[in-house]
A and B are shown apart, each in its own frame.
Chain A
Amino acid sequence: MSDGTRARAARSANPDYKILVVDDEPDLERLVKQRMRRHIRSGRYGFEFAGNGIEALEKLTEIRDIDIVLSDINMPKMDGLTLLQQIPEVNADIRSVIVSAYGDMENIRTAMNRGAFDFVTKPIDFADLQVTIDRTLRHLDEWRAALASRDKLVALQNELDVATKIQQSILPDQFPHVDGCEVYGCMEAARNVGGDFFDVIRLEGGSLGLAVADVSDKGVPAALFMMSSRTLLKGAAVGIGHPGAVLSEVNDLLNETNDAAMFVTVFYGVYDPASKVLTFSNGGHNPPLVVHADGSSEELELTGGIALGAVPQFEYGQASVQLRPGDMVVFFTDGVTEAVNPRSDEFGLEAVQALFEDGETRSAQEAAEMILKAVREFAGEAPQFDDLTCMILRVADE
């Protein structure tokens, strides 16, 4: 055995992360080992397999350092939803990812309520699975580091760091490649707030779900509220489709347990690259700007919605806009328009619009970064009070 082979063998015997795959489909083990072989060989992932919930619990008891459980829902003896309830009793430090049928809203909803961190849909797309696993691991790392430092210092600022880390760990850092449009998003967290998030969700039929949101208040409770909002939104987006119905669903779920009167403003839109139509519902969020190729721009209309989590049983309306080649939709949070300079003047919406008046051609990433840079320059030495989030959808030129 060469040194290299021996080192590799040692690494794969003790991988960086252990993932337990629970599925009654016998072919899955072979498939996972084949598709993930590079990561298994490099020692990044190690996989364990179980055929049902009972076997999974046995594995978890036997192997104490499993990081992620990836579980199917329908299995003999003990199903995935029952397993989800049992996992925290064996090991509270595990994150679960559920594999569900596409659009199976009821099971996804139950899984999320029982603490699943994320889900992937069948048939499994391994590229998507890997992004999901990496994001879950990133979250887990941040979570553990945050808990470790929280144990040492219970100071307020430290708690706020925890919030920031939770927030950073759930934002997308890769954007889907879709013919006919591009998407880019970024966020700069304020020191004392943990409230903004954005998400890009691939939907059936080639559409993209685009969300930008801002949770009221700050600190760990707000960060946890943000995490459940984001997960519920993703679940509803995949399961339901229509933006108004998606926000109605998420609103009801958030209202089920919300004594602290927290709320989240959400703009959620579905963009169909084939027709170039953006259908959207606005739950109390700043309306995005549509910027045209000539540099002119206007705000999207409000749809009569209320921030989510404030009032249950509310019907969210929706509207749609026909986009043209070269159009950009600029989604942002009020941290951008309400940023202040040392004289306490606000940056304002007009300043955002003015940035585009030159009619220059910019990629989605260039446009998003231009906005955040302009806000930073405007603010100068003034402290940043709120998170700055900006996401851009750009329709390809003709």
Chain B
Amino acid sequence: MNVQAENHDGVLVAKVEGRVDSSNSQDFERQLQAAIGDDIGAVVMDLGQLAYISSAGLRVVLLVAKTLGQRNVSISLCALSDPVQSVFEISGFNRIIRIHDTQADALAAAGK
């Protein structure tokens, strides 16, 4: 698992690769928090290269979404593979966090 961050005019794009499960969810949380930092207007998580996410990984996404919500920073997800999309649908988290088909859609919706 690896998180790579890029700044697109104030919108942080965090690309997540590999598998996230209970064995590396704490590392996932640390890498995400470090990538996001303080001075950001919106966050887009690009999950195009994410092969698998377990409930421990979903908890990290929820925690980050809640923390950002309190700071009025928007968060969205994009480019989910079918298995990952299905995890978000079954858990109902697609009702909590906005999901876009592509990174371009997500960036457009983030107000840039």
Q: A193-B22, A311-B96, A338-B54 are in contact. Are A262 and B59 (CB under 8 A)?
A: yes
B55 engages A217 (CB within 8 Å): yes
Chain B, interface SS category: helix
Mask for A246-273, Cβ within 8 A of B = 1, else 0? Answer: 0000000000000011110100000000
A306 engages B93 (CB within 8 Å): yes
A306 engages B95 (CB within 8 Å): yes
B66 CB contacts on chain A under 8 angstroms: 261
The number of residue pairs between A and B whose CB atoms lie closer than 8 Å in the complex comes to 69
- List residues of A (199-246) whose CB comes within 8 Å of B's CBs: 214-218
B22 engages A218 (CB within 8 Å): yes
Centre residue among B54, B63, B66, B89 by max chain A CB count within 10 A? B54
Given contacts A261-B63, A284-B93, A338-B54, 20 further A-B contacts (CB under 8 A): A195-B55, A215-B55, A216-B56, A216-B58, A216-B59, A217-B22, A217-B55, A217-B56, A260-B63, A263-B59, A263-B62, A265-B55, A284-B90, A285-B90, A304-B95, A307-B91, A307-B92, A334-B55, A385-B23, A385-B54
Number of interface residues of B (CB under 8 A): 20
Query: B24 to chain A: closest CB distance in Å?
Result: 11
A310 engages B56 (CB within 8 Å): no
The CA-CA distance from A2 to B88 in the complex, in Å, is: 69
The CA-CA distance from A216 to B22 in the complex, in Å, is: 9
The CA-CA distance from A193 to B55 in the complex, in Å, is: 12
B76 CB contacts on chain A under 8 angstroms: none
Closest to A192 in B: B22
B residues bordering A, Cβ < 8 Å?
21-23, 25, 52, 54-56, 58-59, 62-63, 66, 89-93, 95-96
Closest to B89 in A: A302
Chain A, interface SS category: loop
B96 CB contacts on chain A under 8 angstroms: 306, 310-311
Answer whether residue A53 sits at the interface, using C-beta atoms and an 8 A cutoff: no
Closest to B57 in A: A216
B92 CB contacts on chain A under 8 angstroms: 283-284, 304-307, 310
Answer whether residue A24 sits at the interface, using C-beta atoms and an 8 A cutoff: no
Interface residue from B23, B52, B90 paired with A192 (Cβ < 8 Å): B23
Interface residue from B25, B63, B91 paired with A284 (Cβ < 8 Å): B91
